[in-house]
A = this chain, B = another copy of it.
């Protein structure tokens, strides 16, 4: 995979120019994407390299894949839907404007499922093309996993960053709610939609986000002996298969061996209830957010989307308000949990990437944390017997993004080095 940190270091040392670094990414896309299908639109190569040659800023030389529900003024933004085929927004999304302001290059638009919901797209998992890369940020995860770009941007409403990162074996980072702007990103559910980032490792994603936002998010060393990690199997543990359970145990035992305290946490009732409230909030808001598309173009929607919007439109405001009340109490309860632990260690996925492209997999282990707004990182490094990645997830207190990334980097190093016990 391409590494943000390696590229930045090579540029800093004068071993490569920003233009040449971007050219490497564009070359990799040209060579590999036919077999993966991560990109849906690419910019003109010469114009892009000329712009990269002029770029200044802390992200000069970094080529970024941008999920195709995020507006770009110079590339079509198709939303994964025939309704928006060829759509050309008048402006860049705020995140894209930030990227460019810092010198980064948009290397292309990455495949999104239809309005970032559940209908699978055609992207293949670079680890094994017989498997889904997950969704809805399918192309962003696959583009990084295949070594085509060092970074890609996605979004998560249920589990659309953490899940594809877990299936593709890359680091995925969902920031604290509204740490990064959503202006110019197609809305599915305004209370839930959260932009996130994919890179080869937690340290890479942290380096990128530090330079993007100006916030000190670079990973720093953690002292395992001071870490209190809550092992949080959730009340839907029965949906985790053997691979997911083994990966979680591997991580927990590795962390314990390294000196961290592991505390078992039973899921509080209100957090189990919040997992259900997520659907009510998501569907009610989607019914409103996609009201124009439903009124004018429902014949060009997938069955699963149309049905979900109809369910959402049938939810009474009182039921929505009740779900929001559950969400508020869940956020408070999550804050209480973090009185006792520094981090929560929990499955990222129910197992390795499902076979075939008929489903993008289950977000059941993600949607609670999208609702609470806590920062989450998919930690890569574990795999099943077939060699397919199985992610595990670290969750930190709201606003403690740097700790989430730093601890993820530490845990990743244990998993990658194989210092964690064998299963």
* Size class of the A contact interface (CB-based, 8 Å): 35 or more
CB within 8 Å of B: which A69-102 residues: 73, 84, 87, 90-94, 96-98, 100-101
Q: Find A92's partner among B84, B178, B214, B291 (CB 8 Å cutoff).
A: B291
Nearest CB of chain B from residue A218's CB, rounded to whole Å? 14
Q: Chain A 231-243 against B: per-residue CB contact (8 Å), 1 yes, 0 no? A: 0000000000000
By a CB distance below 8 angstroms, the chain B residues around A84 are 90
Question: Which of A93, A291, A316, A399 counts the most B-chain CB atoms under 10 A from its CB?
Answer: A291
In the bound complex, do residue B288 and residue A98 qualify as a contact, i.e. CB atoms below 8 Å apart? Answer: yes
Q: Residue of B at shortest CB range from A179?
A: B317
A183 part of interface (Cβ distance < 8 Å): yes
In the bound complex, do residue B190 and residue A293 qualify as a contact, i.e. CB atoms below 8 Å apart? Answer: no
Nearest CB of chain B from residue A372's CB, rounded to whole Å? 16
Within the assembled complex, what's the spacing in Å between the Cα atoms of A84 and B100? 21
A285 part of interface (Cβ distance < 8 Å): yes
Q: Chain A 287-328 against B: per-residue CB contact (8 Å), 1 yes, 0 no? A: 011011111100000000000000000001100010000000
Count identical subunits in the complex: 2
By a CB distance below 8 angstroms, the chain B residues around A366 are none
Q: Find A98's partner among B91, B178, B184, B291 (CB 8 Å cutoff).
A: B291
By a CB distance below 8 angstroms, the chain B residues around A187 are 94, 183
Within the assembled complex, what's the spacing in Å between the Cα atoms of A238 and B128? 70
Within the assembled complex, what's the spacing in Å between the Cα atoms of A330 and B263? 35
In the bound complex, do residue A289 and residue B87 qualify as a contact, i.e. CB atoms below 8 Å apart? Answer: no
By a CB distance below 8 angstroms, the chain B residues around A97 are 288, 291-292, 294-295
Within the assembled complex, what's the spacing in Å between the Cα atoms of A289 and B182? 9
A213 part of interface (Cβ distance < 8 Å): yes
Q: Find A292's partner among B91, B178, B293 (CB 8 Å cutoff).
A: B91
Within the assembled complex, what's the spacing in Å between the Cα atoms of A289 and B316? 32
Nearest CB of chain B from residue A70's CB, rounded to whole Å? 12
A181 part of interface (Cβ distance < 8 Å): yes
By a CB distance below 8 angstroms, the chain B residues around A101 are 291, 295
Q: Find A181's partner among B98, B100, B190, B399 (CB 8 Å cutoff).
A: B190
A9 part of interface (Cβ distance < 8 Å): no
CB within 8 Å of B: which A261-292 residues: 285, 288-289, 291-292
A332 part of interface (Cβ distance < 8 Å): no
A215 part of interface (Cβ distance < 8 Å): yes
Nearest CB of chain B from residue A1's CB, rounded to whole Å? 29
In the bound complex, do residue B214 and residue A91 qualify as a contact, i.e. CB atoms below 8 Å apart? Answer: no
Within the assembled complex, what's the spacing in Å between the Cα atoms of A94 and B101? 30
By a CB distance below 8 angstroms, the chain B residues around A91 are 292-293
Nearest CB of chain B from residue A194's CB, rounded to whole Å? 13
Nearest CB of chain B from residue A243's CB, rounded to whole Å? 38
Q: Residue of B at shortest CB range from A96?
A: B292
By a CB distance below 8 angstroms, the chain B residues around A184 are 292
By a CB distance below 8 angstroms, the chain B residues around A316 are 214
Q: Find A317's partner among B73, B191, B214, B321 (CB 8 Å cutoff).
A: B214
Chain A to chain B contacts (Cβ below 8 Å), 11 pairs: A94-B292, A96-B292, A97-B291, A100-B295, A101-B291, A181-B285, A181-B288, A183-B190, A183-B288, A183-B289, A184-B292
A residues within 8 Å of B by Cβ?
Answer: 73, 84, 87, 90-94, 96-98, 100-101, 178, 181-184, 187, 190-191, 213-215, 285, 288-289, 291-296, 316-317, 321, 399
Beyond known contacts A98-B291, A101-B295: 5 more, CB 8 A cutoff: A92-B292, A96-B292, A178-B190, A181-B288, A214-B316
